[in-house]
Amino acid sequence: MRILIVLTYYRPHTSGLTIYAERLAKALARRGHQVTVFTTQYDRSLPLEEIIDGVRVVRSPILLKISKGVISPTFGYRVTRLVRQSDVIHLHLPQFDAAGVALRGRIFGKPSVITYHCDLQLPRGIFNIIVNQVVHIMNHLAAIFTNQVITYTQDYADHSPYLRRYLKKVKIIQPPVILPSVLSGSAREFAIKNQLNGKGPFIGMAARFATEKGVEVLLDAMPSILQKHPKAMVLFAGQYQNVIGEDRYAARLFPRIQELVALGHWKWLGVIGQDEMAAFYQNLNVLTVPSLNSTESFGLVQVEAMMNGVPVAASNLPGVRQPVIMTGMGEIFGISDAAMLSEKICDILASHHNYVKDPAWIIEHFSPDTVAGLYEELFESILVEGKSRHA
């Protein structure tokens, strides 16, 4: 099967969406499909075309960046050619260009499937309000033109203003999550490298430093956590400098965080590789996902942590609360409720063993091959349906 995957950003850009797309693309390629990813050349040092782990990656040059989006004058021309060469189109939303790509699929008789990752909510401002509305319109048009809409959980589908309008098209497929192999001694080496010995407990957060991630909730919770655990330290894994569209957010929070850094209660780890992420999880006592709004629909890092035996404190957002509900490996706290987050983290630290479960089911259920198999079945059924309709 010739599968075309279209999204604005792809690896090496780091976000939950790009990680999802990369894992699925590679898994589909391993299953024998011809997989092409069409994306933008958001960084001019990236080649316009390359093969990565059996996946053909084609990038469209950009003219300029606007907020968290890009303008690529040749995007339409290039994607038209790729649509005509494909059997099925897989779109990742939110994405401004998705409607045009799905429409091309209709014109050329190529079925399309949307994976809807989250609702779009850009930071406040007149310009961002306009961008929000334009992308919302394009996302709705994409849903009208597409054959099927995928999302992670029924919980999120039932609460998303966007997905509620297309429930007849919605199908639930869990996201792909990988348990990286851990080399002997790597967890200890990670601790030595980051000077963690003699400190702890360790509270992990793995995310881009972005408004919707709720970093300030954890920041506000730290004083009361430190009263009970004077050596507690936050280990923040992910991009925290020069995050697209987050300059004001960083300027507001960085001074307070740097005070904790100076006192040894917060450590920036930056973007780290997959193998090192496994060592990161194995040094944690608890992971938190304090996300604030529906731009977060699940939180893949929760499952990664649970696969490594780490409990999670997650905010009570539709979708985000599901990994804890499904596994029992953690606690749920009120959205933006720093006092409750502090309480739940301390509860987990006090009874850590009660939250650790056998990871075997989690590993199998969320494996990229399992997820790719579900997509494969969906693509095939849509293709068969299309052929019977035109027979």
Dihedral sign for Cα atoms in the order 162, 329, 370, 26: positive
What is residue 64's predicted lDDT score, i.e. its pLDDT? 81
Is the pLDDT assigned to residue 123 strictly greater than 70? no
Classify domain 2-176+367-389 at the CATH topology level.
Rossmann fold (3.40.50)
Identity of the residue numbered 156: Y
- pLDDT bin (cut points 50, 70, 90) of residue 46 is very high
Which sequence spans correspond to the domains of the chain? 2-176+367-389, 186-365
CB of 170 closer than 8 Å to CB of 151? yes
Percent of residues, the chain, with pLDDT higher than 70? 95
Average pLDDT estimate for 318-322: 96
Q: And the tokens for 34?
A: 């011809």
**What span, in angstroms and rounded, lies between the C-alpha atoms of 270 and 208?**
9
Pairing, β 286-289 against β 312-315: parallel
Q: What is the pLDDT of residue 132?
A: 67
Q: How many CB atoms lie within 10 A of CB 109?
A: 9
CATH for 186-365?
3.40.50.2000
For residues 210 and 118, the answer to whether their CB atoms sit within 8 Å is no
Q: Cα–Cα distance between 52 and 259 in angstroms, integer?
A: 41
CA 243 – CA 15 distance, rounded (Å): 11
CA dist 236 → 213, 261, 275, 289, 299 (Å): 12, 11, 16, 11, 15
SS3 176: coil
Tell me what pLDDT residue 63 has. 85
Of the pLDDT bands very low, low, confident and very high (cuts 50, 70, 90), residue 131 is: low
Q: Which long-range contacts (CB under 8 A, 24 or more apart) does 269-275 make?
A: 269/194, 269/235, 269/236, 269/237, 269/238, 270/237, 270/238, 270/239, 270/240, 270/241, 271/14, 271/237, 271/238, 271/239, 272/237, 274/178, 274/180, 275/180, 275/181, 275/182, 275/183, 275/186
**C-alpha span between 265 and 65 (Å, rounded):** 36
* Statement: the pTM of the whole predicted model exceeds 0.85: no
On the question of a common fold for 2-176+367-389 and 186-365, the answer reads: yes
Dump pLDDT digits (tens) for 158-181.
999 999 999 999 999 999 998 777
pLDDT band at 68 (very low <50, low <70, confident <90, very high): low
pLDDT of 136 reads 77
